[in-house]
Amino acid sequence: MAKDHGAQIKDDALYEELLKQGNSKEKAARIANAKAAGTLDHPGGTLEERSKADLLKEAREIGIEGRSKMDKAALVKAIRGHK
């Protein structure tokens, strides 16, 4: 049974698993809460399936610098690595 991390963490078991995988507390919390809310799966499919325009839009929303000079593969890597 997963430890209760308080009301701010909606899926304690997933949160703990993500921490064990080396994710930061902030990133683990975001993923666990999104999964619990049912918003983790992007309606556009996997990052590789999405258009470069969609990836640029998401990169802009999360504040990735240098995105306009990135190709599609670099955008996917930057979005995945965003903390």
Residue 76, both tokens? 């996917």
5/74: higher pLDDT: 74
Which residue ranges make up each domain of the chain? 1-41, 47-81
Asked if residue 33 lies in contact with residue 11, where contact means CB atoms within 8 angstroms, the answer is yes
pLDDT in tens, 34-81: 877 666 665 666 888 889 999 999 899 889 999 999 999 999 999 888
Residues 6+ away with beta carbon under 8 Å from 68: 56
